[in-house]
Amino acid sequence: MGIYRIVAVVFWTLVALSTRAEAQPGTCGGFTDISPGGGFCTNVLWMKNRGITLGCTPTLYCWANGVSRRSMAAFMNRLGNTLTPKVFSIEENGGVLDFSTYHVVCQTPELPAPAGNYPRFVDAEGSLSFEVSGLQTLIVVPVVSKDGGSWQAMGQSIGPYVGPGMRHNASTVAPGFLIFDGGGTPPISLKFGLAVSRQNQFNQTITSWACHLEVMVRNGVYNGY
Amino acid sequence: MMRPLRALRFAATLIGFATTPAALSAPCAGFTDVDATSPFCPNVDWLKNRAVTLGCTTTTLYCPDNLVSRLSMAAFMNRLGVALTPAIVYNEASGGTFDLDTPPAAVCQTASIPSTTFPRAAHAGALLTAQLAATPATVALKIVQSIDNGMTWTPLNLVPASVGGSAKWANAAVWTSDVQLAPGTSYRFGLRVERASGGGTGDLTSWSCQLRVMVSSRTGTSSPY
């Protein structure tokens, strides 16, 4: 046996031994060639959930394959799209608002459920310029609806105590609201707005108002995914 | 019998023929080895415009079938991270008497935000704190942008934030919608402070403003993506 053949046998034996360590039973997110307990399973699942790569076949990740520059361009482009925040904003104005019930102004259209099985965080900023007929305490807070009907507060409310004869401005920020934890059923659609309500004893009306709401949806990492 | 070295050369020649790019209908983003009709062309164009890679051996070759070394991967991921990291531009200013009938085109003007080869989005927010004179006045706030280095300014808010009264301190906030920045254009942002329609006759006796603009990557629907 020549020296080159001996070297080749030793080399391929080492390769076989090293790859056997990765080929554990069980699957990582459906990939049979990735060990669920391995250190890379989290990374592979993170990529799969965001649609960056779904594998070389539905059940194989082909972890030892090289990456061509062509494939790299696709992966990095998809990663860039995933990490680029999406922003929705709306402006609106109107006349009299009474406070027999709360109002949701600056409502966005219903936004389709985000694709991909991964968490998103939503940051919202809103402002309301308004004039009241008398003394009043208002609560202004960004809200979200996952069913097109019921509203859920996204942040802490702002309650300006205001009086007549002035034009007022109330601003509110809701940072980092988790919209989807990646493990459940995604909402059918999302709708955002700015809730305006009376806080306590006063019963005045808003005589005119204008609002602005901006909602930024961004990629989130939650429990590692 | 063919000697090993000659066999290697022969194989290399065959590989060379096999990988020689066929005649393309049109180059993709200036790369003669990627066809403009390839489904990967938008991905390659996206990467090039963000300077993640400008080609392989020359600026006219992308080498789509080459594998990526870990060394190159570090450079690519570093550049991708830089391209995706938002940039914040901030400015603040203050002053004394402010005539609302002859306001400056913009206060809190930012420095010029240089152009890029790829689309971006900007989100601006501004605050005004002002003392109103004894004569009633209502102040309107709009965020404005300039694409000619401050010669002319264009309002970005359809509905201005407004605040008013007399002999009081007032604080108002306003945000823009998702402002799309075109490749190849430089931008400046500022805050326009003026009298609201029907906003009395008083002025400001002192004021201060803050303006914050976040600029981030955006993916377009066509080249340069």
Taking contacts as CB-CB distances below 8 angstroms, the residues of chain A near B52 are 76
Average pLDDT of span A36-59: 91
Q: Is the pLDDT of residue A7 over 80?
A: no
Bond before B224 cis per omega within 30 degrees: yes
Mark yes or no for CB contact B65/A129 under 8 Å.
Answer: no
Taking contacts as CB-CB distances below 8 angstroms, the residues of chain A near B63 are 69
To the question of pTM greater than 0.80 for the whole model, the response is yes
Q: What is the pLDDT of residues B87-110, one digit of tens each?
A: 999 999 999 999 999 999 999 999
Other C-beta atoms lying within 10 Å of the C-beta of residue A165: 13
A144 forms beta bridges with A152, A192
Of residues B8 and A189, the one with the higher pLDDT is: A189
Residues B191 and B128: beta-carbon distance below 8 Å: yes
Q: What is the pLDDT of residues B144-188, one digit of tens each?
A: 999 999 999 999 999 999 999 999 899 999 999 889 999 999 999
What's residue A164's pLDDT?
85
Mark yes or no for CB contact B162/A77 under 8 Å.
Answer: no
Q: Is the pLDDT of residue B136 over 60?
A: yes
What's residue B33's pLDDT?
97
Q: Is the pLDDT of residue B10 over 90?
A: no
Q: Can you point out the beta strands (E) in B56-203?
A: 87-95, 120-132, 137-146, 154-155, 161-165, 169-175, 179-181, 188-200
Mark yes or no for CB contact A92/B159 under 8 Å.
Answer: yes
Which segment of A145-149, B8-12, B164-168, B181-185 scores lowest on mean pLDDT? Answer: B8-12
What's residue A199's pLDDT?
80
Average pLDDT of span B46-54: 96
Q: Is the pLDDT of residue A34 over 90?
A: yes
- DSSP summary character for residue A221: -
| Apex A158 CA angle, A216 and B204, nearest 5 | 95
What's residue A117's pLDDT?
75
- In this complex, which of B46, B68, B173 lies closest to A127 when CB atoms are compared? B173
Is some CB atom of chain A closer than 8 A to the CB atom of B162? yes
- In this complex, which of B65, B83, B159 lies closest to A210 when CB atoms are compared? B159
| CA-wise closest residue to B172 among A104, A167, A174, A158 | A167
Nearest CA in chain B to A81: B219
- DSSP summary character for residue B24: P
What element of type H or E holds A17?
Answer: helix A3-22
Mark yes or no for CB contact A211/B159 under 8 Å.
Answer: yes
| Cα–Cα distance for residue pair A32/B211, rounded to 1 Å | 52
What's residue B22's pLDDT?
54
- DSSP summary character for residue A102: -
Cα dist from A136 to A17, B54, B58, B129, B171, whole Å: 75, 60, 69, 22, 17
Q: How far is CA A83 from the centre of its chain?
A: 10
Taking contacts as CB-CB distances below 8 angstroms, the residues of chain A near B56 are 69
Average pLDDT of span A7-36: 57
Sign of CA dihedral B45, B48, B50, B53: positive
Residues of chain A numbered 76-135 and touching chain B (CB < 8 Å): 76-81, 83-85, 87-93, 125, 127, 129
Mark yes or no for CB contact A166/B170 under 8 Å.
Answer: yes
- Confidence label for A187 from pLDDT (cuts 50, 70 and 90): low
Q: Is the pLDDT of residue A184 over 60?
A: no
